[in-house]
Structure formats: C-alpha cells, structure tokens
C-alpha cells in the first residue's frame, strides 16, 4: 500500500509500555461449567473456545473477543503520549485517519456529521471504557469511549498462526474496527446478530479499500492480502485450527467465505449504502 510515511495521526494514543489493564476472565468463567459437565473433554472444549476468542481478532460482543465490545467498565484515561515514531504505529495511524476521512466525506454527503474515533496502542494490557483487557483479546472497538484498541503484536500472531501477512492485511484490521465505529454512529452496532454486525464491518472495510484504490493507494497484491486476512479470521478457519471441528451454530463472525464476500461487496459498491447503512 502506498502511504505517507511522514504522517503523524492526531487520533493516536500511544500507551505502550505503560501497563494497565488485566485479563478480564468473565467470558472464560462462563465456559468453566463445561469442564464439570464433560470432564476432560470439557477441558479441551474450553481451551479450544478460549483460543478461538483470543485469535479471532475481529469480532464483537465482549472484552475477550476483539471487535466491538459494549461492556461497561472503568473509563480509559484521556492522556495522549508523544506521537509514535516506529513505522508500524505510523502506518496504522495513517490508515486510521484515511479510513475516517473516507467515511467522513460520505457522512457529509448524506448531511450527517462524522465524529472521529481515536486509537489506543498498548502492550500486554489496557483499561478501556468497556473494561480491562489483555493483548490476547486482539483488536477491539469500544463504543463507550469511541476508541479502537490494539496491541500491534497481534499482527505477528495473524501472520505466524494464520498465514495472513502484508501491509494491506494490517490495514484491513484497522478498517474493520473503524467499520464498527461507523455502525456505532449510525446506531447500528447493537442491532441484529453478531455475525451480521461483523460482516457489515467487513463490508465497510471494503468501502474504504474502494476509496483507497480510486486514489491509487493500492499496490499489486494488496487486495489478495486483505482477502487472505478476512479468510484467516473466519470462524470456520479458526475452529479448524484450534479445535479441529467446525460448528456453524457457534459462529459469531462468519465463515471465511462470508467475510471475503462481505469485503468484496463493500469494495465493489464503494458506498455506505452498499453495506446497508
């Protein structure tokens, strides 16, 4: 992807190295009764589901899964550190601002006002308006404080465990989370099932990709990188890799094919209306 390497995002809060936050085990605690019911098989189920939640990355509905979390908790501090200087942090900041500029223009064209989200970079753990979380949750969006939270080490896991690499795969992750912010501003984040919510966010990521392509920001192979990332975080793919079994009735984000299809729909349509907004 072509991007401005001198860009410094005003919407980045760099909290890396500050500590704070802890693993919120509320979601895991709900799984523990499975151990008592199924014995050693329950332990395998718990481990498998915990890994699914940890490495899904782009989902909604709780602080143990990335995506959009609506749990109430301690409000995140608003202090902003110095602008990050490392290339990856500057890159995600560029994508954050470019995606929001894209959606902001579409809001304006529809006579609506776009309120920018902020992004918090953290390491190990963080406190957000939706509660405390560890880096194991993956990237997530908190509608309470309208912030995207990400430990950039997530990208290493995405590549090493699921084979999704490349800068546009990284960009897809950010655009998906901003998609949740767009849903929130439209009052659509809590409507419908979580699979529909996630697929709509994928579609919105595709809308931004369409805009990036129209401005000659895409390079050969970028779309393939984004589609590979969408497939990597499909529920069926994650379940295969973590439990060896695919259970569609337990999906919360959509299959690899569904997520790729949603992204393509947004890319081809290029408008919020292409995603039902």
According to DSSP, residue 29 is labeled: H
> What pLDDT does residue 35 have?
37
Residue 183 lies in a domain: yes
Does a structural domain hold residue 7?
no
Q: Scanning the structure block, which residue is given the tokens 């369409």?
A: 210
Q: State the distance between the two ends of the chain, measured CA to CA, in whole angstroms.
A: 27
109 assigned to some structural domain: yes
As a whole number of angstroms, the distance between CA 245 and CA 248 comes to 10
Residue 81 lies in a domain: yes
Which residues are within 8 A (CB) of 224 and not within 5 positions of it... i.e. 6 or more apart? Answer: none
- Asked if the structure places residue 267 within a domain, the reply is yes
Helix (H, G, I), strand (E, B) or coil at 156: helix
List C-alpha distances in Å: 242 to 49, 146, 231, 232: 8, 31, 15, 12
pLDDT tens-digit map of 192-217:
669 999 999 999 999 999 999 999 99
At residue 40, the pLDDT reads 40
- Which domain covers residue 246, as residue numbers? 12-272
Average pLDDT, the chain: 82
Which residue is associated with the tokens 């994508």? Answer: 95
Examine residue 5 and state whether it is found in any structural domain, yes or no: no
Using CA atoms, how far apart are residues 36 and 47, in angstroms rounded to an integer? Answer: 14
**50 domain-assigned:** yes
Q: How many domains does the chain have?
A: 1
pLDDT at 161: 86
Are 151 and 67 in contact by the 8 Å Cβ rule? The answer is: no
124 in any annotated domain: yes
Hey, how many other C-beta atoms are within 10 angstroms of the C-beta on 92?
Answer: 25
Answer yes or no: are the C-beta atoms of 235 and 243 closer than 8 Å: no
Q: Which region holds residue 166: left if phi is over 0, alpha if psi is between -120 and 50, else beta?
A: left
Flag residues of the chain having pLDDT under 50.
22-57, 59-66, 70-80
């Amino acid at each position: 992807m072509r991007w401005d390497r001198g860009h410094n995002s005003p919407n980045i809060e760099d909290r890396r190295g500050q500590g704070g936050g802890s693993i919120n085990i509320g979601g895991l605690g709900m799984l523990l009764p499975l151990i008592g019911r199924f014995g050693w098989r329950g332990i395998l189920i718990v481990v498998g589901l915990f890994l699914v939640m940890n490495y899904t990355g782009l989902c909604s509905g709780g602080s143990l899964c990335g995506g959009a979390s609506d749990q109430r908790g301690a409000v995140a501090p608003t202090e902003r550190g110095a602008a990050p200087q490392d290339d990856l942090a500057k890159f995600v900041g560029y994508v954050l601002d470019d995606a929001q500029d894209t959606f902001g223009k579409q809001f304006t064209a529809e006579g609506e006002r776009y309120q920018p989200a902020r992004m918090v970079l953290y390491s190990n753990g963080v406190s957000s308006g939706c509660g405390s979380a560890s880096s194991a949750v993956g990237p997530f969006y908190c509608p309470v404080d309208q912030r995207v939270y990400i430990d950039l080490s997530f990208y290493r896991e995405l590549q090493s465990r699921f084979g999704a690499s490349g800068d546009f795969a990284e960009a897809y992750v950010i655009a998906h989370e901003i998609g949740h912010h767009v849903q929130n501003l439209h009052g659509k984040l809590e409507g419908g099932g979580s699979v529909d919510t996630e697929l709509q966010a994928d579609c919105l990521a595709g809308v931004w990709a369409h805009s990036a392509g129209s401005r000659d920001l895409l390079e050969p192979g970028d779309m393939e990188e984004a589609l590979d990332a969408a497939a990597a975080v499909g529920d069926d793919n994650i379940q295969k890799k973590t439990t060896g079994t695919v259970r569609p009735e337990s999906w919360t984000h959509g299959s690899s094919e569904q997520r790729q299809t949603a992204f393509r729909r947004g890319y081809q349509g290029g408008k919020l209306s292409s995603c039902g907004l």
